[in-house]
Structures are given as structure tokens and as C-alpha cells.
Amino acid sequence: MADRFDFWREQVGHTHAPIKIISEHAADFHAYQRFLQFGAVCVWPTSFQPLVFQRTPKLVRQSDPETVHVSLPRSGSLTVTHEGREETYAPHDLLVLTSSRPHELRTEEHLRRHTGVGLEVPRALLPLPPSSIDRLFGRGLPGLADNP
């Protein structure tokens, strides 16, 4: 069963950027992730047990594909720690991260499964100056709390 977790962790690292993933459920891990490739852009609906994702300074130095990641949590909140700040994003909020900066993302531990959608876009494809993209890092765009 731990092999499933190791395999899934490796696949996620290929989708986003090298990332450390920790789970208390590694021995009996269950997850679903589908990869939809549209040219250089990747969309991936996913569902998994509670996890911690760590993009450490060392991992950023080792490999930076210079992508922008947008998360849309569908069930459960996400808590992101970056640059000394901690922010929590509710379901249906949009969260913007980049592979170029360290961060930690945690899902709610008490949930049985977290579901959401991720989007990976090469930074070079975005028609924004780097400073504009940097200002979005770790920022959320509030979703519609009353919509399921």
C-alpha cells in the first residue's frame, strides 16, 4: 500500500515541480488524479487523503520549471505558509502559487478526502510582467461561499 503513496507522490512531482509530500495515511493511501494536457498547460482534477506539500528552498534551487499553479479547492480548506505568513483558503477560493518560491500547503486533517482542481501554466505564457505574477503569489481570490 505504501507503494501507492510513493508512486502518487512521484507523479505529482512530475506534474507541478519537485515537491515533498507527507501523509499520515501513506500505509493505506488512496488518491485520484487525472492529467489533462492542453499544449504546455496542464489541468488536473484530484481527490486524496489529507496531505502536506512542501516546496522547500532546496527543491526550488534543484529544479524550477517556472510555472504558476492555481488551485481551486472543492472540499475542505487549504492552508498555505509562505514568506512567514499563513493563510487559509476555503472551498471555491482560488489560490495562486509559483514553482519559483518555497511554500507549504496543508489540507484539513479531519477530512476523509480533499477534492479540488489544479492548473499549471508556464510563467512565460502569461501576459503579465513578472512583478505582477509575484504579487499574486500566495494570494487568494474569494470564491462564492454560498454556492455548492
pLDDT classification of 11: cutoffs 50, 70, 90: confident
CA–CA gap between residue 1 and residue 29 (Å, rounded): 7
Q: How many CA atoms lie within 13 A of 66 on its CB side?
A: 6
| Pairing mode of beta strands 20-22, 52-55 | antiparallel
Res 91: pLDDT: 92
Q: Quick check: is 144 in a domain?
A: no
Structural domain boundaries enclosing 83: 2-131
pTM: 0.85
- Collapsed DSSP state (helix, strand, coil) of residue 59: helix
Q: How many CB atoms lie within 10 A of CB 63?
A: 10
- Residue 147, domain member (yes or no): no
Question: How many distinct structural domains can be found in the chain?
Answer: 1
Query: Which residues are CB-neighbours of 17 under 8 A, at least 6 positions away?
Result: 55, 59, 63, 64, 65, 67, 99
Q: Which residue has the higher pLDDT, 13 or 124?
A: 124
Say which residue the cell 481570490 belongs to.
Answer: 141
Percent of the chain with pLDDT over 90: 47
pLDDT in tens, 79-106: 999 888 999 999 999 999 989 999 999 9
pLDDT of residue 2: 60
Comparing 77 with 109, the larger pLDDT belongs to 77
Cα–Cα distances (Å) from 20 to 48, 57, 84, 125, in that order, read 15, 11, 19, 26
